[in-house]
Amino acid sequence: MQSKPLYRTAKGQAYVGDSLALLAELPSNSIDLVMTSPPFALRRQKSYGNVEETEYVEWIKPFGQEVFRVLKESGSFVLDLGGTYRSGIPSRSLYNFRVLLAFCDEIGFHLAEDFYWFNPAKLPSPIEWVNKRKIRAKDSVNTVWWFSKTEFPKADVRKVLAPYSDRMKKLIRDPESFYTPKKRPSGHDISASFGKDNGGAIPSNLLSIPNTDSNSSYLRLCKELGTESHPARFPAELPAFFIKMLTDEEDVVLDIFGGSNTTGFTAEALKRKWMTFEISREYLASSAFRFLEGQSSDTIKRVLATLSDPHADYCIGEALCALDTNKNATISDESHAQLALFAAGAGYGSARIQRNCE
């Protein structure tokens, strides 16, 4: 990269600037995974700079073209897009599906799989159709498109196996009491190997992950130091799933709309190299709080002052970068079974960032 990062860790760099310009600095076929959540095509303008629905596809296509160029042949592009309604009427916008079609038909991506992120903690919206008139259900699912450059990207679902249900555990212990191997009416041939313990269940493409972060060190430090936290953060469990399934340790993960750098933090904890691009220096500077857990207030204030320089190239010192595996323990049993894969199958853990940022 010709540009200097705002800050660095042992495994990653965070850059301030326009993502298209920064993408142009990357060599072709150099990135293993791009995981990002761009500003959505909302009708109401947000502080983080969303684009109007009618302009959205043309706005985002150049980013998709550059991502296609920088991805390795085995690489993946995971794009989280929230839904919205058309202006003034209770009819859904199709912008996220138009993005999908444009990326596949015009850029050349393959749709490896469509995922859906269900956020059970999401507040009812839009107010007019859900709360006031009560003619629509609340919108609590985002589309998450998993694009690939080729038909066979690097992927291993065994890295994100979900814990078996209690009933499946009983079946594994005593398969003859639960089923008889034979061909089912659906055409599925259930053999004797169905009762084999494979270490967990294959997860579905519906990811139930509540976005309930309210007491993280990032939010706490933003409040203590009077800096604005990024208003549109996805939970670490979402990038953790795809980082684990689609990359290996030391692979390179890129987020081109970095925000509060959840992706970089998660990649660091999972021992991946990472890069984050974010156009807002204020948001990116405060994202460094994620890597400063346990530091004194005076130290954090000095770091924040240093990051006021957009080309600070600050090397973050020793810090513990850990993902919380217990914060979702209060959700329903069904959702907990899905979420537990992040703790058990997805390799949740921590990484200590060393002083050496070279």
Residues of the chain short of pLDDT 50, as ranges, are 42-50, 327-348, 353
Beta bridge partners of 114: 145
Catalytic residue among 19, 37, 74, 260: 37
Show the domains of the chain with their CATH numbers. Answer: 7-160+204-349 (3.40.50.150), 164-199 (no CATH)
**What is this structure's pTM?**
0.85
pLDDT of residue 172: 78
Q: What is the pLDDT of residue 103?
A: 98
Taking only the tens place, the pLDDT of each residue in 4-41 is 999 999 999 999 999 999 999 999 999 999 999 998 76
pLDDT, residue 160, reads 96
Model confidence over 71-80: pLDDT tens digits?
999 999 999 9
* Whole-number Cα distances in Å, 135 to 90, 93, 138: 8, 17, 10
Residues in the chain: 358
Decide if 310 is catalytic: no
pLDDT of residue 47: 47
Q: Report pLDDT for 357.
A: 63
Does residue 80 have an active-site annotation? yes
Catalytic residue selected from 80, 139, 251, 255: 80
Q: Which of 19, 32, 38, 74 is catalytic?
A: 38
Q: Residue 227: what pLDDT?
A: 86
Concerning whether 38 is annotated as a catalytic residue, the answer is yes
d(CA 114, CA 110): 11
Amino acid at 236: A
Res 278: pLDDT = 96
| 8 A C-beta contact, residue 355 and residue 318 | yes
